[in-house]
Amino acid sequence: MSFLVPNAWAAAGAAPHGQSPWSLLIFFVVILAFFYFLAIRPQVKRQKEHKKLIDALAVGDEVVTQGGILGRVLRLTDQLAVLDIGKGTELTVQRNAVVAVLPRGNISF
């Protein structure tokens, strides 16, 4: 078994002789900071922006849904939005399905 783990390390335990136990703790802190700044923080920022967008929806806004459907908001409730998607066709979607608000005048029916 000595070809997988050197005998001196296997007998010594977790850390090799002469290495500080704080180095392992510092390593984990650096990894946690790395994940926080590259994964967690940007995701939280996107969630806050999306919630702000959903709360600011108003009747008459032209929106894009997660499925790529373009429509104009006709009615709003706490959880739902009714969209006019063209030629009098109405579609009810959850407010959370709206991913973007377009400038007015982009959709022509």
Count of domains observed in the chain: 1
Residues 66 and 97 sit within 8 Å (Cβ to Cβ): yes
Show the domain range for 66.
58-102
3-state secondary structure 5-54: CCHHHHHHCCCCCCCCCHHHHHHHHHHHHHHHHHHHHHHHHHHHHHHHHH
Residue 35 in this model has a pLDDT that exceeds 90: yes
> Does residue 4 sit in helix, strand or coil?
coil
Q: Indicate whether 19 belongs to any domain.
A: no
pTM for this predicted structure: 0.70
Q: What is the mean pLDDT of residues 16-22?
A: 72
Q: What is the pLDDT of residues 76-102, one digit of tens each?
A: 999 999 999 999 899 999 999 999 999
Q: Indicate whether 23 belongs to any domain.
A: no
- For residue 65, give the CATH number of its domain: 2.30.30
Q: Indicate whether 96 belongs to any domain.
A: yes
Q: Indicate whether 79 belongs to any domain.
A: yes
Amino acid 42: pLDDT: 96
Q: Indicate whether 26 belongs to any domain.
A: no
Burial class (CB in 10 A: 0-12, 13-18, 19+), 63: buried
